[in-house]
Amino acid sequence: MTELWDGLVTALKLIISFDPEVMAIAGRSLAISATSSTLAALICLPLATVIHFNKFRGKRTLINIIQTMFSLPTVAVGLFVFVLFSSAGPIGGLDILFTPIVMVIGQVILISPIMLGLTISALSGVDKSIADTAVSLGASRFQMAAVTIREARFAVLAALIMGFGRAISEVGLSLMVGGNIQGFTRTITTAISLETSKGDLELALALGIILIVIALIINIVLNRIQQR
Amino acid sequence: MQRKVTTVILSTLVIASLLIGFAGCGQPRLKVATTTSLYDTGLWDYLEPMFEEEYGVELDIIHAGTGIALEYGMRGDIDIIAVHSKSREEQFVADGYGVERAPFAYNYFLIVGPPDDPAGIKDMSPEDAFQTLYQSASARFISRGDDSGTHGKEKAIWASAGYDYEEVRTAGRWYVEGGKGMGATLLMASEMGGYTLTDMGTFLSYQSELALVPIVQEGAILLNVYSVIAVNPESDPNTNIEMANNMVAFLTSPEIQELIGNYGVDEYGMQLFAPCAGAEPMS
């Protein structure tokens, strides 16, 4: 039990003193996950509206597949991305393995199904008469989609936050394709894994607490934006 | 007004974290894959700034077991490897993946276990100790189980003691495959009250966290030599061979050899690594 308490105390000390290494690790985690969440959102929001507003064969199956991919194991995505970007792999020539860039690519693959699937659910929850009304008032297809997204904004934001949460909390992918390089690809979760293997449980716990604090701040900020 | 301030603060934060997060993406870099036993002792953290300053390059240290480090080398994902498994290193060079094997430091493996030595193997030869563990089948043995250099040494001792490793692996619940790095395996053995095979350097640097003591430390088979091998540019044209050669020269230079020999002496009261550039000890 003392370890938990010591972890909390260490976390507070590291935060209050702006420990440069911890701040750099936290900033890096935030930067990588925020970038991947933004990219994933830019892909998923339009794609979700296209899937939602169109009727086509196999739509149900497609949504089932997307929902199944919510359970993609992070290490499996990590292995896939590793093999893809390894020098011996099909696009190894880019030479970006063991950099933050490839971590972002991996996270986009990892979180896109969640953002996509939950955004489709969010749009399905909007009363269809809203879209119909918009059309009858002369709205273009694009405007109709915008109105529907606006109606569903709470649920859409929840989808984005879920995606971000998965990105910043995953460790398997970051370890495998990032390499946990100090000062370059070490994030909060890979640092926790390293410190735990070193037996420095207090620092590991402290980093865990810092991750939760970051998630809390992000949530507060997004919720404030949404309520405007 | 308040909204403006919030926007400014938020965008500053985002830009700052982006700068930190992706800093150094365009700089020249040298990628080293190193065995966990070298990394866990802190030796790389100690040497890294000296190398970076001398050669003006960012050193990326990826710590992995010898097995995966060699695999990275074969795939051309890194520029140089620092590992400890002589036969596999020689194979790596013979297959054309590495330029040359350059031994730079050595120490000894040892078998550590609980202070009360439940299996009664203290001061036996490594082979006899393993035989006793196998026959008693009660005291736990925690294996790395990760195809690392230490794991390779463990297999060599089982073979030398006359056992088929596949039989040992499945012999019973006393044999535990940890699947972790050296430090984590020591912590696991300590928690479970079991024995494990470890290199001296990692054991010394973790000793304060462990309820384990040295049990077996005599035996020619326990010799542990660390080598560095630059990835062959003929097998991987993109490799940074120039900087990798600098690393080999750096590690085997008299000054750095002396620093390696003195590393940790003040803290642990004994040598973690003995330098051996140009004069590989033979078991």
DSSP character string of chain B: -HHHHHHHHHHHHHHHHHHHHHTTSSS-EEEEEE-HHHHHTTHHHHHHHHHHHHHT-EEEEEE--HHHHHHHHHHT-SSEEEE--HHHHHHHHHTTSEEEEEEEEEEEEEEEE-TT-TT--TT--HHHHHHHHHHH--S-EEE--SS-HHHHHHHHHHHHTT--HHHHHTS-TTEEE--S-HHHHHHHHHHHT-EEEEEHHHHHHHGGG-S-EEEE---GGGEEEEEEEEEPTTT-TTS-HHHHHHHHHHHHSHHHHHHHHHTTHHHHSS-S-EE-TT-----
Runs of H (alpha helix) within chain A: 2-16, 20-53, 59-68, 74-85, 100-124, 128-136, 141-151, 153-169, 172-173, 188-198, 201-227
Do the Cβ atoms of A101 and B17 come within 8 Å?
A: no
> What band does B283 get if pLDDT is binned at 50, 70 and 90?
low
Would you state the pLDDT for residue B36?
85
Do the Cβ atoms of B183 and A98 come within 8 Å?
A: no
Least CB-CB distance to A27: which of B21, B31, B78? B21
Per-residue model confidence as pLDDT tens digits over B78-117:
999 999 999 999 999 999 999 999 999 999 999 999 999 9
Chain A neighbors of B21, CB-CB under 8 A? 27-32, 35, 100
Q: What mean pLDDT do residues A111-122 have? A: 96
With CA atoms as reference, the chain A residue closest to B205 would be A198
Mutate to test the interface with A, among B2, B4, B8, B20 (most CBs of A within 10 A): B20
Per-residue model confidence as pLDDT tens digits over A30-82:
999 999 999 999 999 999 999 999 999 999 999 999 999 999 999 999 999 99
Do the Cβ atoms of A98 and B62 come within 8 Å?
A: yes
Per-residue model confidence as pLDDT tens digits over B134-174:
999 999 999 998 888 899 999 999 999 999 999 999 898 99
Q: How far is A138 from chain B (nearest CA, A)?
A: 34
Name the residue among B208, B10, B145 with its Cα closest to residue A224: B10
Q: What is the CATH number of the domain that holds A219?
A: 1.10.3720.10
Q: How far is A23 from chain B (nearest CA, A)?
A: 9
Do the Cβ atoms of A31 and B58 come within 8 Å?
A: no
Domain that holds residue A17: 2-227
Residue B144 near chain A (CB below 8 Å): no
Q: What mean pLDDT do residues B231-255 have? A: 94
Count of structural domains within chain A: 1
Would you state the pLDDT for residue B1?
55
Please give the model's pTM, rounded to 2 decimal places: 0.84
**Full set of structural domains in chain B with CATH:** 27-106+224-275 (3.40.190.10), 108-222 (3.40.190.10)
Least CB-CB distance to A181: which of B16, B62, B77? B62
